Structure 1
């Protein structure tokens, strides 16, 4: 970057004045302590601001201090996190809380380098906490920063590449004010969220329009440069609703992997029913599922499809398409071979369930009538 010192100072003044007058009123901005900032930043990963606010408030009510979060059990943690998805974030929250309480005697580290030693805290989150809570001169490079500064400085580096973060951090660092780096980073977040948007930037309202090289050349939509991610792999599943309106079978997912430790209906994949990966399965899996359940769980059931459309749910790398099937569970059935438990309807809300299970439950209650 070849800006003069005078131009850098003028940019900082215009940018920060705009932020002071137009900053969004967000609940975590009412505090400058690292706990609130950290929690909000973790929740905002892959989740929009308006969605996060009620979850943030609910989570703080359950765990008002970092010591409360460190000491809770996993089931309570997951219940408080329920609906946000990506439950590994919640696990890392607790691990980091325990690190702070144990390794740092409850005192937050104040540098980005030390913050990155905590579970689940990467370069962006570390820079955000360090700058907002402790006024450390660190650029917080996230999606908004990529978009704003790629356009502002016409940076052509591919933001899908991990090494590009360093390129942007180096480009932004000279623009950081000597004090107020936290406001600068939050101004970047707000500008990217409200004006310098991905598809329809409001350039005529932009407080730093005169500094923007992409605006001057009419190439705003060419930035940031980003290669497309591969499409999520499709996976076909069946969800088994086995029981009656008062109780049904549920399984807890394994402790590692996708949706770890969360509860769902029994899920059976197409691969579970195929003797060979090239087998073509029928549209109705009832007969195959009946056989599978008899062999795997030692349950003699009459499985039938639930009418209605399949439930779809997309993860970062997978797209699940799930058909629902149902069966009544005979009285006094031996569940010794079933890796789960019979859950009463009255107890269902106490379980930590993922969003996809909520979709399945809603679909079943709607279409099984």
Structure 2
């Protein structure tokens, strides 16, 4: 692959071999089990399939564990651009990221604790997360406000002596239904009178703390994404020690910028892995099925669509890899335009190729007999979960216009 270091290429080959030998052969069985036994919103009954736990142990033993973390002692020490192709390979299967302990939102939460957490916070939460013993949640989006503008958050995080008090409601909190979810990083409003990007804080909230209530799981197109779930949770005067604040009060947005940079590369590369798998399924189906005396790919403009998807995926990958290199060389702030750009481009590329792959599969493409419905839900959700397309486009425009103002000054 273009631009990969020798170390990245070696890890990629190992991940590909692991996927081929261990993940793909069990994928259909695991997904069928989850659909049949967990296809409802009662998250209290959700369990992680035994096969997943066994595969996690194998991945750990194989040294394919926590590859996202840029630390040579705790992980492989890969840079953002070195890890990116590994994320793409994992994205080819819905079940793969957890198997390698590289699934959202845990990777982002672990990065927050790694970069901004105290030693006590790392001992209590980061180390168990790195071992894969627990899962975590990130609470940012709220049902009462337009979350496309994150400064609208109304959940309060207020200091009270040696404690902070959390009051409010979050939804679309990914991973909330997982049976091993133990802690949430919650972002909320601390000082309404401060600068708009210094008003908010992040705090670690154990999910068993008094006042924390998981209200429900939310479905995407009728699918609850068990055993992870995207849920709604309320905080009713929840008290935690002030030592649970990450960084300091008012530093929430600064921390979020660090969290959301590399994490967006991970999301986009996983989406590109799903796009590659979808294109493969589309081609295989289109060449093997015959209608009106011809393979499906020779009917209408199906063949042209394949070519267009090939070009779009390759372009999106180059855009994402370029963004990863900017992050590695100049930091997240320098990549503001590129990060926004890939968040707008990549999910749409995935959505388009999955839509055509579903069309080629006919009625089967709408069912859980194929992985396409999961990929489609992923694509459509990403166009909102990482912020709506329109916000990203506005960011790209703002960054672009800055260049002209600087040229004239």
Which protein is richer in helix relative to its size? Answer: 2
The structure that has the greater radius of gyration is 1
Q: What TM-score do the two structures reach when normalised by structure 2?
A: 0.25
Q: What TM-score do the two structures reach when normalised by structure 1?
A: 0.26
